Amino acid sequence: MNRFLIGLSYLLFLNFELALFMMGGVYGGRYLNSHHALGFDWVMVTTPVSVLLCCIAIYRYLVVIVKSEREKAKHD
């Protein structure tokens, strides 16, 4: 497969994954608010957790891109 298409597929999947994390945090917080109501808003807890997961996902994909570029330079 072409290296450009591999990088493009990583980027598209990263966008999907980030959107999924953010939506999961918001809807998860809403679900917890309606079913397990406490003295605080669950969305304020789940949203920072989902932002942290987004940062971890971006870091993971950057590591994959750097490794693939190093392997590419090694083979050339």
Distance CA 50, CA 67 (A): 26
Chain segment 1-21, per-residue pLDDT in tens: 677 787 788 888 999 999 999
Chain segment 29-49, per-residue pLDDT in tens: 999 999 988 888 999 999 999
pTM (2 decimals)?
0.80
- Mean pLDDT lowest among 39-43, 58-62, 65-69: 65-69
Contacting residues for 22 by C-beta, under 8 A, at least 6 apart: 47, 50, 51, 54
CA-atom Rg of the chain in angstroms: 18
Instruction: Quote the domain boundaries for residue 49.
Output: 3-75
- Tally the domains of the chain: 1
Q: Indicate if the pLDDT at residue 76 is higher than 70.
A: no
**Hey, what are 49's tokens?**
């957790």
Nearest to 30 by CA among 52, 46, 19, 17: 46
**Hey, what are 6's tokens?**
């591999």
